[in-house]
Structure 1
Amino acid sequence: MRIVMVTDYYLPTLGGVQTLVKAHKEALERAGHTVVVACPLAEPSADPSVVALPISPVFNPDGYPFTWPYARTEQVLREALIDADIVHVHSEMIGAIAGLRVARELGIPIVQTMHGRIDVYTASVLPLPSVTTIPLAWLHRRRIPHVAPIAGGERFTSTRLARRMWRLMVNQANYADHVIVPSAHFAAKLRGQGVTSPLTVLSNGLEDSVLDQLTGARPRVPDGGLRVMWCGRVSPEKRPEVLIEALAQLPGSVTADLYGEGLALAATRRLIGRLGLAGRVRLHGAVPQSEVLAASLDHDVFVSTSYDFDNQPMVILEAIASGLPVVISDPDLGESIPDGGFVATAEPTATALAAELRRLLDTPERVTAMSRALLADAGGAAQQTHLDGLLAVYRGLLASRSNA
């Protein structure tokens, strides 16, 4: 089987979509399939299975290369999709739109994974989002039929910008032949807003090359302090400031390491200085995935401050596989974490996070118990565990096409 995966996110960077695409690619290739990834690149790739999409020379939201122009993108993808059996799209921007259109033109079955809330992402990352999302929505509407309306009355569709992006998400999902969603909570929102395409809830997973770097994980035994790890796009929708403000309410024995870069990195650095936390909080910026994995074996707790945005963060799966206890601000994210391996804060605030971290600091045996619970079920985070489900979606589409 030849699968072409299309994404608007730069593959080598640290990010959930990028990490999942790499996991899919490795697992599928080990199973004997051919996988090509088409994505924007900040620099040339020596990997012949990676196709570079054209990028804008001036527009790079959140520091990532942005796929543009549209016509040239379609041209590149038309060449890349020759002889493809399946096209699997992993985003909703320009590259994704072009991938969907070209696949439909060529009669290739389309799978669309809905990774997260682009209504929140665009509001947080794009400059003047109430204005800049208008041309994106216009281009999307020109290429992808916008039939499904968006129901009002939900907190997440309460603004015009949110409804504009939900309309984009729902209609794109309905343009695909099959939709994959990594979590039931996001699947329910999509269904509630009008997604009618066949939909499979299929958890993300980690590739073997990642799991190999996490061998030897042991239960955490804090040594009198608490070493906190945070990893992700340092961007407003991820709310890194919540962790920094929580640290300011805790004793000096609680320290934190933040991995990643993004629009909020400078503001986060200023907040650390303003609160006098320079000696307790380290900003590592963009680092290789191997360094993130090593860090997950060397901390006591992983903290996710994201709220009402993420679907199923890959960094949480890495924490599970490494036996690193997880503290979440969004209770929806607990869906994919083994029971006993996480705690959710009472509210998505810095004060509530500080209270939960203080409890863990005062009861180190609880940290150890959480770590043991994760290690007992760490195999559930493996991509191989979910490969059969992914292949079942692909094969079902191919069978339907051959029987039509």
Structure 2
Amino acid sequence: MRVAIVTESFLPQVNGVAGTVRHAVDRLTTTGHQVLVVAPGAGPAAYSGAEVVRVRSLALPGYRSFPLGLPDPAVQHALARFRPDVVHLASPIALGAVGLRAARRLGVPTVAVFQTDVAGFARQYGVRAEHLIDRWVGHLHRRADRTLVPSTASWDQLAALGVPDLHLWRRGVALDLFDPGHRDEALRAAWTGGEPGRTVVGYVGRLAQEKRVRRLAELADLPGVHLVVVGDGPERGWLAERLPAATFTGMLRGPELARAFASLDVFVHTGEAETFCQTVQEAQASGVAVVAPAAGGPLDLVAPGRTGSLYDVTDPGALRRAVGALVADPDTRARLARGGRQAVAGRSWARVVDELVDHYAAVVAPVPGRLAA
């Protein structure tokens, strides 16, 4: 099959959208499909056997590392030249809208993957545009032939916008990378200064307002805890000032990231607008007890008391209490860690991308009366 992926983000960016596309390309090319990627901003012109067409972009204020794709005739030219069987729209909002229009003009079926709650992020930044954003997101997904959502919360969100033909498509996890066997006692000692008996609690992700990372300050003086913050972003300075005893590793990738995950005792996530929350899966695969918000994607990933712990995001003390309970109870930590690892045992990226191909196949059959944009 010839698959064109029009994505809002791709390498060298590191985020959920770029990561999902990267794993999809890896598996698609390995299994014999021909792939074209259309992405905004500067970056590699090829990846894993697929050509990457770069189009015009604009750096967002406060997010200089995140290029926003702009309308560019290169999108339709690239699709017309490649002649895809299907166009995959990865988290469409800006460049995805251009790709959708081009695909409809060319009569190519589309699969749209909802991955970013842009309206939710806007709320975190105090931008009063949720209604307009939701209308735009609904408009795009209603025009796609099929929409894939990562969680039941996302399903409900898009169904409320009138989007038809919704299908649940979860994310995979790199089970060959994230594993309890990577736990490193020397690394833990370096984090804690060799102080015995400390429970290492960690956050992994972008240090940005939409992730609600300022809630980590609630854990600053939790007895017996050493806090580790993995990642980077605009909120790092604020956090470092209020968490002087914490370890800030910066962004980690590959084996270093896997080692950091497995060396935690408790993983905590603070974001309330996550459509999925990939780092929860990575922590579970690493054999680490999880504390996550009872909102969005984590509601599907964490079964309280079995595969992790959820806290009420409306309760200012809930995060601290949830983490404190696990710090005080190593047996429960171990049980939740085992349950979490068992829950993700079958979620390899290979299996998940093979499911994606089934969705492609479902829309490739000729659709009578397809309208031009």
Give the TM-score of the pair, scaled to structure 1: 0.80
Whole-Å Cα distance in 1 between the matches of residues 39 and 333 of structure 2? 40
The residue that corresponds to 2:227 in the other structure is 256
**Structure 2 residue runs without a partner (length 5+):** 189-195
Whole-Å Cα distance in 1 between the matches of residues 368 and 29 of structure 2? 24
The residue that corresponds to 2:200 in the other structure is 227
User: CA RMSD, aligned part only?
Assistant: 2.7
Whole-Å Cα distance in 2 between the matches of residues 266 and 74 of structure 1? 40
The residue that corresponds to 2:239 in the other structure is 268
Question: CA separation of 1:28/1:2 partners in 2, compared to 1, >3 Å: closer, same or farther?
Answer: same
Q: Which residue, out of 137, 141, 147, partners 1:169?
A: 137
1:123-164 Cα distance to aligned partner (Å, 9 max, x none): 446xx845xxxxxxxxxxxxxxxxxxxxxxxxxxxxxx1111
Q: Tell me if the contact between 2:179 and 2:287 (Cα under 8 Å) persists in the aligned partners.
A: no
Q: Which residue, out of 303, 313, 323, partners 2:277?
A: 313
Q: Tell me if the contact between 2:55 and 2:70 (Cα under 8 Å) persists in the aligned partners.
A: no
Whole-Å Cα distance in 2 between the matches of residues 216 and 324 of structure 1? 8
Residue 346 of structure 1, CA deviation: 3.8
2:212 is the counterpart of 1:239: yes
**Structure 1 residue runs without a partner (length 5+):** 131-160
Residue 262 of structure 1, CA deviation: 2.6
The residue that corresponds to 1:282 in the other structure is 247
Whole-Å Cα distance in 2 between the matches of residues 219 and 294 of structure 1? 6
1:156-189 Cα distance to aligned partner (Å, 9 max, x none): xxxxx11111101111110101000011121012
The residue that corresponds to 2:162 in the other structure is 194
Whole-Å Cα distance in 2 between the matches of residues 217 and 38 of structure 1? 37
Whole-Å Cα distance in 2 between the matches of residues 378 and 310 of structure 1? 18
Question: CA separation of 1:324/1:290 partners in 2, compared to 1, >3 Å: closer, same or farther?
Answer: same
Give runs of aligned pairs for residues 3-402 of structure 1, distance below 5 A.
3-45=3-45, 47=47, 49-56=51-58, 59-70=60-71, 73-80=72-79, 82-124=82-124, 129-130=127-128, 161-196=129-164, 198-206=165-173, 210-215=174-179, 217=181, 224-243=197-216, 245-251=217-223, 253-270=224-241, 272=242, 277-279=243-245, 281-307=246-272, 309-332=273-296, 333-337=298-302, 340-401=306-367
Whole-Å Cα distance in 1 between the matches of residues 368 and 30 of structure 2? 26
Question: CA separation of 1:388/1:397 partners in 2, compared to 1, >3 Å: closer, same or farther?
Answer: same
Q: Tell me if the contact between 1:123 and 1:129 (Cα under 8 Å) persists in the aligned partners.
A: yes
Q: How many residues align?
A: 356
Question: CA separation of 1:14/1:254 partners in 2, compared to 1, >3 Å: closer, same or farther?
Answer: farther
Give the TM-score of the pair, scaled to structure 2: 0.86
Residue 7 of structure 1, CA deviation: 1.5
1:358-380 Cα distance to aligned partner (Å, 9 max, x none): 11111111111111112223323
Whole-Å Cα distance in 1 between the matches of residues 143 and 254 of structure 2? 34
Structure with greater proportional helix content: 1
Residue 400 of structure 1, CA deviation: 4.1
Over 6 Å off, 4+ runs: 218-223
1:225-272 Cα distance to aligned partner (Å, 9 max, x none): 2212212221111111101x2212411x312222222332332233x2
Structure 2 residue identity aligned to 1:229 = G
Question: CA separation of 1:233/1:77 partners in 2, compared to 1, >3 Å: closer, same or farther?
Answer: farther
Whole-Å Cα distance in 2 between the matches of residues 49 and 43 of structure 1? 12
Q: Tell me if the contact between 1:86 and 1:108 (Cα under 8 Å) persists in the aligned partners.
A: yes
Give identity over the alignment, percent: 25
Q: Tell me if the contact between 1:14 and 1:232 (Cα under 8 Å) persists in the aligned partners.
A: no
1:276-318 Cα distance to aligned partner (Å, 9 max, x none): x312x122333324432221111111111111x1111121221
Structure 2 residue identity aligned to 1:334 = L
Whole-Å Cα distance in 1 between the matches of residues 366 and 45 of structure 2? 36
